[in-house]
Structure 1
Amino acid sequence: MTQPSAILAPTPARILPVIVFSQFAGTSLWFAGNAVLPELQASLGLRQEALGLLTSSVQLGFILGTLCFAFLSLADRVSPRLLFLLCSLLGALANALVLFAATSITVVLLLRGITGFLLAGIYPVGMKIAASWYSGKLGKAIGYLVGALVLGTAFPHLLRGLGAALPWQTMLLAVSILAAAGGLLMYLFVPDGPYLAKGARFEVSNMLRVFRVRELRAAAFGYFGHMWELYTLWAFVPFILAYAYPEWPQGQLSVYSFAVIAAGAVGCIAGGYASQRWGSARVAFVQLLLSGLCCIGSVWMLQLPTLLLPFLLFWGVVVAGDSPQFSALTARTAPPQLVGTALTVVTSIGFAITILSIQLTGYLLTAIPVQWVFILLAVGPLVGLLSMRPLLRA
């Protein structure tokens, strides 16, 4: 049990910056493949249609990893600092092995899938580590964590837009070193927090037990509705910009794609501060409502190029800004001994939903006029808003 004096002691100033940097460093593995796709295509002779598999393999690996970690309750049975360190080191190794073992597309996909699997011990576990240090200010802390992840997501677009000339081998190796350094920093400078509950024993039912809590179900389904929209918008931002501004060169499209996606970091961090006054549930509800209205407004904005760019920047802010608040709500409403399991399994289901949404949107773009496609993303925010009613009443 944690002593009351430990709970009341002020949190060291270094804790949040180290957690944020380590989370960014570890999750940079997620998008390392995106930054070097053209180079890998040329080096391995990949067909154009094979490139999408590189991103999908990481997503699928992450889903399998989160399911495995949740089934075994690893995040609640193993020291989260140690788990974060091991997954960062092994993920860095899997990423670096692409340099030496990329003799075929099969090997590359396998290594990227393994990297995604190990990210299950970085992204959700990093949130649990934050939850062990910040109880009353968890929305603010996770706002910074997800903001760092958003910037990492957008970073490959900036690299392409600025025409970075680094060899792809150097870029992959640098990302691996960064991820390993993040794991070491987390382990060395962030001890177990005062709010870290005693870990759960392994039970097959742990994955289902977390959903017995009504408030957690409300937070989880709000998150699922959010995820239906988020990654699909991110995936098709370059397409939307190319559709609306066909005269723009590729470099300009990439820079503005970075800007739209990176705007989400503003929503995450600002929402974290706002949650200190109005609560995570209200902040998440408002941002999810605004992003849902953006889905509907896209019908008209896609036909107004002069207004589309500021509209997309605003959409980029609110579409990601509710994500850390949903994670904070999940952590707060989960059984204390199963916080890691709850974050992991909810994240896993959320990412599985993104694959369905992306595939459906890609099909619809070939079947109906473009301006009518993205309004269908509003289904996710609608379901999420309806699911959040118990949290608002509380």
Structure 2
Amino acid sequence: MSRAPGISMRPVVAVGLIAASTLLSMSAWFSATFVVPQLRVEWGLGAAETSALTIAVQLGFVVGALLSAATGLVDAVPGRMLMCIGGLGAAACNAGLLLCDGVGSALPLRILTGIFLAGVYPPALKEVSTWYLRSRGKALGVMIGALTIGSALPHLVGAVGGVDWRVVIATTSLLSAAGGLVVCVVRGEGAHPFPRRPVSLAAGFRSMRNRDVVLANLGYVGHMWELYAMWAGVGVFIAALPSVAQRPDGDSLAALLAFVCIGTGAAGCLLGGVLGDRWGRPRAALTALICSGGTALVLATTYDVLPLTVTVLLCAFWGFWVIADSAQFSAMVTETADPDYVGGALSLQLAFGYVTTMVSLWLVPQLVEHFSWRAALVALAIGPAVGILAMLAADRRRARSRVLAV
């Protein structure tokens, strides 16, 4: 694709740099998955403290996203500046864990890490959207696909084993700092910039007056109910299968298979983007929600009778579709929200989504412990069901608007 007049970079290069910056910066988030098992032993953490350490980043992210939406900061300050500050701030907070000796001092740092990362992800979605219009779904899919690979990497490290948590923290801190600096290489905005407005209290919340945005947010909430709980639980689920649990290398095998199952989502993001650009965002998201929620129900009824190979293939199919719709919800907001407040609207959508993940991440282990994986998998399918209803309504609205336009 050629450069538009006045644009100093090729869109594909700019989006690649923004995606790389986001992935590197968000490594401070992923680091928790690496180190919590070791910290559980070294710091003597109980189940509640372990969960708190894991969820603290998400809590901070929600706080940061809500503050960004309430103040309109993400629509007033250049996105690249926010991403730079967010990446460097997250790196510093993440590195601070090296000085901690227990969960009491670590929790505030993890919360601050999440707050700084709220200055990375929403602006990144907005920045990518300025570089593409007709292929925006695919461009956002590429960025979220990169984050999917980042989310899968802890399982690959778990399969290899032997990496000290201090090395992981130091490395991810350097990567986050690098992410904050990489985005500075991006020169200018794309050919489709959003207006920049002064800081305004509650500016982002005005997006909730738009029914299309509300439906996109409902779909995103349903999607997020399932997504992070699936990512966090698929390795444990595979490890609990009798044919894996009875093997001497069962934990390593489960971690490796979990990496594959989650990693397939990167391809799912790309296909979801292609479908979104061709079919429309609601229909593409609807397809992904049906496939992911349906797979959760199939696994709920068959996981204890199917051969291991078939169960793993179903998990990989689930991992492919569970993230395929994510970029489409963001694209719906960029295309239907008031252009003056797109950044705030994206921040609000992400805040709703990550609040939801905090609930499902707590609920699924409880259901597994007190009932079974069958109950947990059925509960996860509730999210896609809500998303399906929202996307059916959104698709009807889209069809009516096209008829009226004719």
Structure 1 residues 256-294: Cα deviation after superposition (integer angstroms, max 9, x where no partner): 111111121111112122333222222111011111211
- The DSSP-based 3-state class of the residue aligned with 1:346 is helix
Q: Which residue of 2 aligns with 1:313?
A: 316
**Contact 1:19/1:190 (8 A) holds in 2:** no
Structure 1 residues 342-391: Cα deviation after superposition (integer angstroms, max 9, x where no partner): 11011001110111122222222233333233112222111111112343
Q: Which moved more, 1:200-209 or 1:30-39?
A: 200-209
**Contact 1:76/1:200 (8 A) holds in 2:** yes
Q: Which residue of 2 aligns with 1:124?
A: 122
**Pairing 1:29-40 to 2, within 5 Å after superposition:** 29-40=28-39
Structure 1 residues 105-125: Cα deviation after superposition (integer angstroms, max 9, x where no partner): 211111111101111011111
Q: Which moved more, 1:368-377 or 1:28-37?
A: 368-377
Q: Which residue of 2 aligns with 1:288?
A: 289
Query: 2:80 matched to 1:77?
Result: no
Q: CA deviation at 1:91?
A: 0.7
- The DSSP-based 3-state class of the residue aligned with 2:104 is helix
Q: Which residue of 2 aligns with 1:154?
A: 152
Partner residue of 1:179 out of 152, 176, 180: 176
Q: Which residue of 2 aligns with 1:169?
A: 166
**Contact 1:297/1:375 (8 A) holds in 2:** no
Q: Which residue of 2 aligns with 1:388?
A: 391
- The DSSP-based 3-state class of the residue aligned with 2:369 is coil
User: Structure 1: which 5+ residue stretches go unaligned?
Assistant: none
**Contact 1:229/1:319 (8 A) holds in 2:** yes
**Contact 1:81/1:192 (8 A) holds in 2:** no
Q: Which residue of 2 aligns with 1:103?
A: 101
The whole-number CA distance in structure 2 between the counterparts of 1:160 and 1:243 is 16
**Pairing 1:327-338 to 2, within 5 Å after superposition:** 327-338=330-341
CA RMSD after TM alignment: 1.9
Structure 1 residues 189-223: Cα deviation after superposition (integer angstroms, max 9, x where no partner): 24222322222333333233101111111111111
Q: CA deviation at 1:312?
A: 0.6
**Contact 2:220/2:329 (8 A) holds in 1:** yes
CA gap 1:136/1:203 in 2 versus in 1, 3 angstroms? same
**Contact 2:286/2:392 (8 A) holds in 1:** no
Specify the code of the residue in structure 2 equivalent to 1:112: R
Q: Which residue of 2 aligns with 1:233?
A: 230
Q: Which residue of 2 aligns with 1:63?
A: 62
Name the TM-score, length of structure 1 as normaliser.
Answer: 0.93
**Pairing 1:1-394 to 2, within 5 Å after superposition:** 5-6=5-6, 11-47=10-46, 49-99=48-98, 101-163=99-161, 165-244=162-241, 245-248=244-247, 249-306=250-307, 307-393=310-396, 394=398
The whole-number CA distance in structure 1 between the counterparts of 2:13 and 2:370 is 52
- The DSSP-based 3-state class of the residue aligned with 2:323 is helix
The whole-number CA distance in structure 2 between the counterparts of 1:173 and 1:135 is 38
The whole-number CA distance in structure 2 between the counterparts of 1:387 and 1:290 is 16
CA gap 1:257/1:343 in 2 versus in 1, 3 angstroms? same
The whole-number CA distance in structure 1 between the counterparts of 2:295 and 2:391 is 19
The whole-number CA distance in structure 1 between the counterparts of 2:209 and 2:6 is 31
Structure 1 residues 323-349: Cα deviation after superposition (integer angstroms, max 9, x where no partner): 111111121111101111011011001
Q: Which moved more, 1:270-279 or 1:146-155?
A: 270-279
Specify the code of the residue in structure 2 equivalent to 1:370: W
**Contact 2:73/2:200 (8 A) holds in 1:** no
- The DSSP-based 3-state class of the residue aligned with 2:198 is coil
- The DSSP-based 3-state class of the residue aligned with 1:195 is coil
The whole-number CA distance in structure 2 between the counterparts of 1:185 and 1:213 is 35
Q: CA deviation at 1:12?
A: 4.2
**Contact 1:161/1:251 (8 A) holds in 2:** yes
The whole-number CA distance in structure 2 between the counterparts of 1:358 and 1:98 is 23
Q: CA deviation at 1:6?
A: 4.6
Specify the code of the residue in structure 2 equivalent to 1:122: V
- The DSSP-based 3-state class of the residue aligned with 1:97 is helix
- The DSSP-based 3-state class of the residue aligned with 1:103 is coil
**Contact 2:35/2:165 (8 A) holds in 1:** yes
The whole-number CA distance in structure 1 between the counterparts of 2:30 and 2:387 is 27
User: Structure 2: which 5+ residue stretches go unaligned?
Assistant: 399-406
User: How high is the sequence identity, in percent, across the aligned residues?
Assistant: 34
Aligned residues: 388
CA gap 1:368/1:104 in 2 versus in 1, 3 angstroms? closer
Specify the code of the residue in structure 2 equivalent to 1:221: L
The whole-number CA distance in structure 2 between the counterparts of 1:360 and 1:167 is 30
The whole-number CA distance in structure 2 between the counterparts of 1:317 and 1:345 is 26
The whole-number CA distance in structure 2 between the counterparts of 1:205 and 1:65 is 14
CA gap 1:169/1:311 in 2 versus in 1, 3 angstroms? same
Q: CA deviation at 1:186?
A: 0.7
Would you identify which runs of 4 or more consecutive aligned residues in structure 1 move more than 4 Å?
4-7
**Contact 2:367/2:375 (8 A) holds in 1:** no
The whole-number CA distance in structure 2 between the counterparts of 1:359 and 1:42 is 21
CA gap 1:301/1:98 in 2 versus in 1, 3 angstroms? same
**Contact 1:18/1:190 (8 A) holds in 2:** no
